[in-house]
Copies of this chain bind each other. A is one copy, B any other.
Amino acid sequence: MRMIGLEEIEKMALGAALLGTGGGGDPYIGKLMAKQAIEKYGPVKLISYNELDDDDLVVPSAMMGAPSVMVEKIPSGDEAIAAFKELEKNLGKKITATMPIEAGGVNSLIPIALAATLGLPIVDSDGMGRAFPELQMVTFFLDGINASPMVLTDEKKNATLVNAIDGVYAEKIARSVTMVSGGSVLDAIYPMTGKNVKESAIHDTLTLEEEIGNILLSDSNVIESLKNKLNGYVLFSGKIIDINRATDGGFVKGKANFEGIDEFNNQSASVEFQNENLICYVNDLPKAITPDLITVLDKETGMPITTEGLQFGMRIVILGMPADAKWRTQKAIDTVGPRYFGYDLDYKTIESLNGGNENV
């Protein structure tokens, strides 16, 4: 257990943006909410999964919807309080702690804001170890933990409690409620026991984000240090020559093309994204495929660039990283692999796609 405050949040926001692999929402909003809550209510208790009792009730929290909408209507703490109260009433039990559902710009930090507001500790774990766009795309779903009962609240004070039969229906129903609630809602979702957290979550995510933030803020050899920290691969180094991007039902879909510089001179690369970066090709060969992580970094500073932030001419490095082993089972690949997202391609591990050759 340790207390986290404004300094840790600053670093975690940077790490979350990197693990967000281009998506996961704008860290600025999450940071703003977390900072406001901590200034008002004081620092938050960060606990490790192994500090939980097996029968504790842990409820992950997140924002659902379009980040561009969240900027316009940043949630007050009221939605969080309403959502957690409704869930406690439904379950007839006190909630022990909250937790992020994903590692990504907004949703790593929203639970910190909630923890501060609600006076709850936050668990240093999450359900993805990266960002993904849909509610069933969590390790909890892979382990058969139900997303329901879940509660969605909005800033107008509408509250919807969903008892869906599984994570896929939870996603469908929650997404539709989000749309009519003005485009974004706060979720209290996947209520689970301490034992569930220990067995099913991906651990030490917030601490990892903080360590990434440390590297980004103070390391003199940023890219190399990130690569080592994350067992990553520098897949490409170049500049952006073309971006196709369209918004479709709250999702940002598209492709970015790059031409090589330095050691990648005369080579080409492209990244396919749907909110998150999903496939990276170098010279038309896949070099990293979802669920493995693909992040585009500013070549000089190492700072992560979101899919919405990609701009013509930027000089970048593409970093690929292996996903957690939980994402490499058949059920996981069915849930978040390239075919789920509509690409005609089989998943191969980033290690096998870059076998022996680390590309640097």
Q: Which residues of A contact B (CB under 8 A)?
A: 86, 89-90, 156-165, 169, 172-173, 175-177, 179-181
Query: Which of B165, B180, B181 makes the CB contact (< 8 A) with A158?
Result: B165
Complex Cα spacing A176 to B181, Å: 10
A83 CB → nearest B CB, Å: 11
**A171 nearest CB across to chain B (Å):** 9
Closest chain B residue to A162, Cβ basis: B160
Chain B residues near A180: list those with CB within 8 A. Answer: 169, 172-173, 175-176
Task: Give A313 to B334 CA distance when docked, in angstroms.
Answer: 55
**Inter-chain contacts of A157 with B (CB < 8 A):** 165
Contact A173 B158 (CB under 8 A): yes
6 further A-B contacts with Cβ under 8 Å, apart from A158-B169, A160-B164, A176-B177, are A156-B169, A157-B165, A159-B163, A160-B162, A161-B162, A176-B180
Are B172 and A165 interface neighbours, CB within 8 A? no
In the complex, are the beta carbons of B158 and A160 less than 8 A apart?
Answer: no
Cα distance, A163 to B161, chains bound together (Å): 8
User: In the bound complex, what is the Cα–Cα distance between A169 and B163 (angstroms)?
Assistant: 19
CA distance A164 to B176 in the complex (A): 15
Interface contact B176-A86, CB-CB below 8 Å: no
Q: Which residues of the partner chain B approach A165 to less than 8 Å between Cβ atoms? A: 156-158
Name which residue of chain B comes closest to A177, CB basis. B173
Interface contact B158-A163, CB-CB below 8 Å: yes
- Determine which residue in A90, A156, A159, A173 has the highest number of CB atoms from chain B within 10 A of its CB, and name it: A173
Residue of chain B at shortest CB distance from A170: B158
The CA-CA distance from A176 to B177 in the complex, in Å, is 6
Complex Cα distance A280/B181, Å? 36
**A181, closest chain B residue (CB):** B173
21 A-B interface contacts by CB (under 8 A): A86-B163, A89-B90, A90-B90, A90-B161, A157-B165, A158-B164, A158-B169, A158-B173, A159-B162, A159-B163, A160-B161, A160-B162, A160-B163, A160-B164, A160-B177, A161-B161, A172-B180, A173-B181, A175-B180, A176-B176, A176-B179
Name the residue on B nearest A179 (C-beta): B176
Query: A156: which B residues are within 8 A, CB to CB?
Result: 165, 169
B-chain residues with CB within 8 Å of residue A159 when the two chains form the complex: 162-163
Closest-by-CB residue of B relative to A176 is B176
Chain B residue nearest to A86 (CB atoms) is B163
**Chain B residues, CB < 8 A from A158:** 162-165, 169, 173
Q: Which residue of B lies closest to A156 (CB)?
A: B165
Q: Which residues of B contact A179 (CB under 8 A)?
A: 176
Which of A156, A165, A177: most chain B Cβ within 10 A?
Answer: A177
Shortest C-beta distance, A66 to chain B (Å), equals 16
What chain B residues lie within 8 Å of A89 (beta carbons)? 90
CB-defined contacts of A90 to chain B, threshold 8 Å: 89-90, 161
A38–B13 Cα distance when bound, in Å, is: 61
Interface centre among A156, A160, A169, A179 (most CB of B within 10 A): A160
The answer for the CA separation of A90 and B175 in the assembled complex, in Å, is 23
Counting from the closest, the 5 A-B pairs by CB-CB distance are A176-B176, A161-B161, A159-B163, A172-B180, A176-B180
Q: How far is the CA of A164 from the CA of B175 in the complex (A)?
A: 16
Report chain B residues within 8 Å CB of A164. Answer: 158, 160
Return chain B residues, CB-CB under 8 Å to A172: 180
Compute how far the CA of A164 lies from the CA of B180 in the bound complex, rounded to whole angstroms: 11
Measured CB to CB, the nearest residue on chain B to A169 is B158
Determine the distance from Cα of A64 to Cα of B318 in the docked complex, in whole angstroms. 50
